[in-house]
Structure 1
Amino acid sequence: IEGIIHTSKQITNLVGNLLSQGAKASNITRIITEINDRIVRKTIQFAEREFGPPPVPYCWIALGSEGRKEQTFKTDQDNALIYADPMAEQEDSVRKYFLEFTNYVKESLLKCGFPSCPGDIMASNPKWCQPLKVWKKYFSQWIFTPKGESINLSNIFFDFRGIYGDFSLEESLRDYLLNIVKDQRVFLGYLANLAVKNKPPLGFFKTFVVEKSGEHKDKLNLKIKGIAPLVDIVRLFSLEKGVRETSTLERIESLKIKHGVVKDYADEIVYAFEFLMLLRMKHQYDQVIQGMMPDNFINPEKLSNLEKKLLKDTFQLISKLQDILIERYKLMII
């Protein structure tokens, strides 16, 4: 595992080189995703050697930004495991195997610098290490009886992407999800509500609205106020139209021909997303090389005039898309 740890530590240098060469954010995240995926696959292969062949087929899935191939610097482990439905008499032994297996992978990834998820959304949590039939039950419960927690979970889990194992399990779960979700206006309305909750931080005269006090005084949260609303809006449109892709940019590409709103705004959304991701990446890179923990808070006054203009344009686009959602879903925004 020492070789993997060394590879993991090289990511910061790689990002610095790519930024200095003027690479697009999507190209940088694609390379980071490929490296991270290889690290995860390698640790899983070590676990297979340690515990012997799995008793039933399984698929290791990435969730959240990892599932969308949009990771920047190393974020928390967000993963889960789907395994094939075992025979009744096998259930206990299969569960025991996979819980030991996933715990081994979690500990290996910790050594490689991937911290545990604070919310424990990891395959090592028995709740998220389940046979296919249980995953289908989870998804149907979240969609047909939506509640606060289930809406938040669906936003994380519905970006799932298979990384290793039997990908037919991932495909089967995606088929099931897209089949049951597309006409569920109540559930989709909840997702729409979440997508419009965080308004872009622009004041009446198009001035930036920043934190007034505390450790983030004079700063704004680029992730919560900019990136997340775009990701949420595009995910919602993708669920409406049965799009299989998980990354935001791939979803937009697929939606261009399927969704009227995206067709009208596709180029603007892509440009805005690339801009926000690059701004965040540059900010986090500067923090990492200074030995700081990377965060999402930027001071807009420290941006160039061009960056300020582009950021305002991006926030105005997000507001426009949120207004479209409010109208489409007749949302009562409080």
Structure 2
Amino acid sequence: MQASNTIQERVHEFLQQYPPFNLVKEDELRTIARQVRVMYLEPEQVLFKQDEAAHDYFYVVRQGSVRMEIVDEKGMQLLDVCDEGDVFGVRALITRKNYSSTAIASEETLLYAIPSSSFAPVLQDNQEVSLYFAAGFAAGASALRRTMSHTHKARVWLRRERNKAPLRLEELVKIAAGNNLLACQPDTPIRLAAKLMTEHDSSFILVWDGQERPVGIVTDTDMRKKVVAGTVTPQDVVSEIMSAPVITIAPEPAMADTLIKMIRNRVKHICVTDDGSLHSKALAVLTEHDLLLAQGNSPAIMVSEIRQTKHIGILPQIRQRAEELLLKYLEQEVKISFIAGVITEINDAIIVRAIQHAEEQLGKPPLRYCWLSMGSEGREEQLLRTDQDSMLVFEDAAAGVVTAAKNYFLQLAALVHEVLESCGFSKCPANMMAGNPEWCQPLSVWKQYYHSWIYAPTDQSLLNASIFFDYRPVYGDFGLSSQLTDNIYESISKERIFLPFLAKNALRNPTPLSFFRNFILERGGEHKDQFDIKLRAMTPLVDAARVLTLQNKVVGENNTIKRFLKLAELEPQNESIYKEAAVAYEIMMRIRALNGLRNHDSGRYIKPEQLSKLERQTLRNTFVTITDIQELLEVRFQLSYIR
């Protein structure tokens, strides 16, 4: 009896380490542990077969590993390998349908078999456990891959249920729409508009037409700058001082879209309309204060501080606050696309302020120019403070003028690099920065660079392409960037061999798993026994997204997640794989950022033992997408014929 109790205690201690059992009440888990059956499987022993009737148990791997295989029109395929703590065979629990795959022990394996009848009441009463299974986390790789997007949403929901937000933005929209919207016609006297704003204690009054469509907005700022300053008189009409056009959004907006739109347009009021456009009825106006209520801490304040500060030395402190905001967002499971958008706006504001500071020091630029960010910042994916990757393009001029201008721009770049380094952005070890004379050139030279890379795709050219094709204008004359982009796409359309070579280059990093289930780790050096998530997992997806968007002539979209989502629209036949790739990359960005914040570094190198069971399981399953995307590239560009 004592031995039996000891076994039950060991089962209980083991189960409570892993999801979903760590979500089960203590007394319920002990009851389940008493009914667990311990099973031993020899290597290659089959536990159940595809199409076999579901058992009365579902299984947890205690020790060893179990392969999940399926036979379809392509033959035998490996779906997943379940190791310690993994749950499988849940059809007995969720549905009485036959098994969709075969389970085979890869080595000597111990299993815990849990009676479905005992666990069913927990599944029914515990919403978190139910959602866990419904999301597909424990149903094997096939279910994981089919429902990865839903799974991510489920995890977000779980986290939010435990950390309730004070107020959602859509609730604020409903509240604002439920109040009488303060609005007037364009011919309303300014004096009357000011009186209405005072009576309603409002910082704005919307200006709309006869069909209640927004045509402008008058704010406290407009009153101060234009009326009090004497530009117009109180007897004039509001159309003389209103800000137009109004920035609009659709009802029930995403916090990300609303906040980033407000930051980018430098406004403190945004109008909600029937369809999100200026051509439909106005429903409500949200203010920056509303967003502060919904968000708790607005990054708009940081961006405003950066733009307005006269003391460049304060920038490092603001960027540190952004790091704290990043951690908060990650802990609250805020969507990565939103986090990346916010951090990009903050980073861009710092770069712009640094450039303005350099111009103040050096005087007016001699020629029109454009500062472009590259790499992760160019793709709007730089969550942590990693390398500075940049390039500078300036307009063509006479030789003597170009020489003097280049000297000015190199000095400007050097000052910018210093400011960014003080903010925690290290200089690029490969010197891929605007301060390098090679990457500070007139437009004509940049066109020659890209022409040579496209028409002579050597190893170095392809390396340069992987860096310099992900640029994004941040400051200056964006027209120079547009001219360069147009020239690049024209060259690619004429030289058809370039994209296949670029696709071949995208296959240089295969799926980062060794013999089914172990991460490929660094063999030596400073990062021995660590996993390089950037090189082995993220770069293959970045490279694939780049070459596929170039092939589809998708202009102006560098972000890897957005690239895959755009590809899903353009190629409906591959919609599933592209959406899976977008979610996989989002998961990788999140795990890397958390790792970097935990270890106070770039997050690139991960110690596998620092990952939770759920993180390891989730990350491992995203690697399947890398294989699928690379197979797509191989077939599309016929890479087997390229040597």
Q: Counterparts of 2:406 and 2:527 in 1: how far apart (Å)? A: 45
Give the drift of 1:208: 3.4
1:274-310, CA deviations, whole angstroms, 9 ceiling, x for partnerless residues? Answer: 111111111111111xxxx334222445434433332
**Normalization by structure 1: what TM-score?**
0.92
Residue 308 (1) aligns with residue 616 (2) = yes
Contact 1:24 1:278 in 2 (8 A): no
Other-structure match for 2:321: 10
Give the drift of 1:89: 4.1
1:40-80, CA deviations, whole angstroms, 9 ceiling, x for partnerless residues? Answer: 10011111112221111110000011100110211111111
User: Residue 552 of structure 2 is aligned with which of 219, 238, 241?
Assistant: 241
Q: Counterparts of 1:123 and 1:261 in 2: how far apart (Å)? A: 41
Alignment of structure 1 residues 79-158 onto 2, 5 Å: 79-158=390-469
Question: Judging changes above 3 Å, is the alpha-carbon distance between structure 1 residues 46 and 194 closer, same or farther for their aligned structure 2 residues?
Answer: same
Give the drift of 1:38: 0.5
Other-structure match for 1:286: 598
CA RMSD of aligned residues (A): 2.1
SS of the aligned residue for 2:614 comes to: helix
Question: Judging changes above 3 Å, is the alpha-carbon distance between structure 1 residues 223 and 87 closer, same or farther for their aligned structure 2 residues?
Answer: same
Question: Judging changes above 3 Å, is the alpha-carbon distance between structure 1 residues 215 and 56 closer, same or farther for their aligned structure 2 residues?
Answer: closer
Residue 230 (1) aligns with residue 541 (2) = yes
Contact 1:241 1:259 in 2 (8 A): no
Q: Counterparts of 2:516 and 2:407 in 1: how far apart (Å)? A: 60
How many residue pairs match? The answer is 330
Alignment of structure 1 residues 1-334 onto 2, 5 Å: 1-182=312-493, 184-211=495-522, 215-244=526-555, 245-259=557-571, 262-288=574-600, 293-332=601-640
Other-structure match for 2:201: none
Give the drift of 1:142: 0.4
Q: Counterparts of 2:429 and 2:525 in 1: how far apart (Å)? A: 23
Contact 1:79 1:123 in 2 (8 A): yes
Contact 1:252 1:262 in 2 (8 A): no
Deviation larger for 212-221 or 278-287: 212-221
Read off the aligned partner of 2:414 and give its amino acid letter: N
Question: Judging changes above 3 Å, is the alpha-carbon distance between structure 1 residues 84 and 202 closer, same or farther for their aligned structure 2 residues?
Answer: same
Question: Relative contact order, CA 8 A, sep 6+: which one is greater?
Answer: 1
What residue ranges of structure 2 are gaps of 5+ in the alignment? 1-311
Q: Counterparts of 1:302 and 1:122 in 2: how far apart (Å)? A: 33
Contact 2:387 2:427 in 1 (8 A): yes
Read off the aligned partner of 1:317 and give its amino acid letter: T
Q: Counterparts of 1:87 and 1:64 in 2: how far apart (Å)? A: 31
What residue ranges of structure 1 are gaps of 5+ in the alignment? none
Read off the aligned partner of 1:240 and give its amino acid letter: Q
Q: Counterparts of 1:38 and 1:269 in 2: how far apart (Å)? A: 30
Give the drift of 1:251: 1.6
1:122-165, CA deviations, whole angstroms, 9 ceiling, x for partnerless residues? Answer: 11111111111111010000000111111111111100000001
Question: Judging changes above 3 Å, is the alpha-carbon distance between structure 1 residues 281 and 295 closer, same or farther for their aligned structure 2 residues?
Answer: closer
SS of the aligned residue for 2:506 comes to: helix
Give the drift of 1:254: 2.5
Deviation larger for 148-157 or 12-21: 12-21
**Normalization by structure 2: what TM-score?**
0.49
Larger % of helix: which? 1
Contact 1:15 1:285 in 2 (8 A): no
Contact 2:386 2:426 in 1 (8 A): yes
SS of the aligned residue for 1:130 comes to: strand
Q: Counterparts of 1:98 and 1:241 in 2: how far apart (Å)? A: 35
Question: Judging changes above 3 Å, is the alpha-carbon distance between structure 1 residues 217 and 82 closer, same or farther for their aligned structure 2 residues?
Answer: closer
Q: Counterparts of 1:11 and 1:256 in 2: how far apart (Å)? A: 32
Give the drift of 1:212: 5.3
Read off the aligned partner of 2:368 and give its amino acid letter: P
Contact 1:155 1:232 in 2 (8 A): yes
Question: Judging changes above 3 Å, is the alpha-carbon distance between structure 1 residues 307 and 111 closer, same or farther for their aligned structure 2 residues?
Answer: closer
Q: Counterparts of 1:306 and 1:105 in 2: how far apart (Å)? A: 41
Other-structure match for 2:257: none
Give the drift of 1:187: 1.7
Contact 2:597 2:603 in 1 (8 A): no
Deviation larger for 211-220 or 2-11: 211-220
Give the drift of 1:112: 2.4
SS of the aligned residue for 2:513 comes to: coil
Read off the aligned partner of 1:65 and give its amino acid letter: S
Larger % of strand: which? 2
